[in-house]
């Protein structure tokens, strides 16, 4: 049974994919059979013939994903909104948490380590009965929470932490992404205040990357700034 963790966040567009890819790249140097999946994805359109989801394509740049796309990304909707809303607007069946978990367990048995990237925030609706939270609980993985230092982040982080704890979901720690290269006094102090309030480790603070390519150099730069041991 593969070890691993789940990467979630306080919002969409905060860097979950790039951080997941960077950690997958780093861990692949010491773990031979490693995999990364994104169970639910949406977007403006299909990214390519090989990968419907651009996020999955980025993960594939970090490690060789030989697995079938339907196992790595069971659900993709070509509309940039929550999976449930996208499925409704496109008149398509919504995601089934049970089916997605089957794919997760298939990969978990096949690999030694499995990283799972979420979509949006932890309460994103998947269907009328389930949110991403329900899926995370079934994986029984620890979560890494990605946040940014923007205004309102305290509320977003504390809400995410509270619902994880009340749902019995273990938290590995928090990563602050997109820290300005010249942060204000307030922005610079946010990580320490978050740690004080949540009593959780700040696993890393990543500066804003204004110009970068999706390649090993970027993965290496980001992964060096995150203190995560894949073994615990």
Catalytic residues: 38
Q: Measured between alpha carbons, how far is residue 105 from residues 16, 46, 64 in Å?
A: 22, 26, 19
Annotated binding site: 13-18, 42, 55, 117-120, 177-178
Please state the φ and ψ torsions of residue 70, each to the nearest 5 degrees. -65, -20
Annotated binding site for substrate: 42
Burial of 196 (0-12, 13-18, 19+ CB in 10 A): exposed
Check if the beta carbon of residue 123 is closer than 8 Å to that of residue 133.
yes
* CA separation for the pair 23, 44 (Å, rounded): 26
Q: For residue 96, give the nearest of 128, 118, 122 by alpha carbon.
A: 128
Q: Measured between alpha carbons, how far is residue 35 from residues 24, 50, 93, 137, 182 in Å?
A: 8, 17, 27, 20, 36
Annotated binding site for ATP: 13-18, 55, 117-120, 177-178
- Largest CA-CA distance found in the chain, in angstroms, rounded: 48
* CA separation for the pair 222, 219 (Å, rounded): 5
């Amino acid at each position: 049974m593969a070890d691993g963790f789940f990467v979630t966040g306080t919002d969409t567009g905060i860097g979950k994919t790039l951080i997941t890819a960077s950690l997958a790249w780093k861990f692949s140097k010491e773990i031979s059979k490693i995999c990364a999946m994104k169970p639910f994805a949406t977007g403006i359109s299909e990214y390519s013939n090989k990968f419907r989801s651009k996020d999955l394509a980025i993960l594939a740049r970090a490690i060789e994903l030989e697995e079938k796309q339907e196992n790595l990304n069971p659900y993709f909707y070509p509309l940039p909104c929550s999976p449930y809303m996208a499925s409704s607007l496109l008149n398509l069946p919504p995601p089934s948490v049970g089916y997605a978990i089957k794919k997760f367990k298939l990969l978990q048995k096949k690999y030694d380590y499995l990283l799972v990237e979420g979509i949006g925030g932890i309460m994103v609706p998947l269907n009328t009965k389930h949110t991403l939270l329900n899926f995370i609980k079934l994986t029984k993985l620890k979560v890494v929470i990605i946040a940014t230092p923007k205004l309102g982040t305290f509320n977003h982080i504390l809400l995410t932490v509270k619902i994880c704890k009340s749902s019995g979901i273990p938290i590995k720690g928090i990563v602050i992404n997109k820290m300005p290269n010249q942060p204000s006094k307030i922005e610079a102090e946010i990580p320490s205040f978050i740690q004080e309030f949540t009593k959780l480790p700040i696993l890393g603070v990543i500066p804003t990357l204004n110009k970068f390519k999706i390649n090993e150099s970027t993965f290496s730069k980001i992964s060096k700034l995150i203190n995560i041991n894949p073994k615990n």
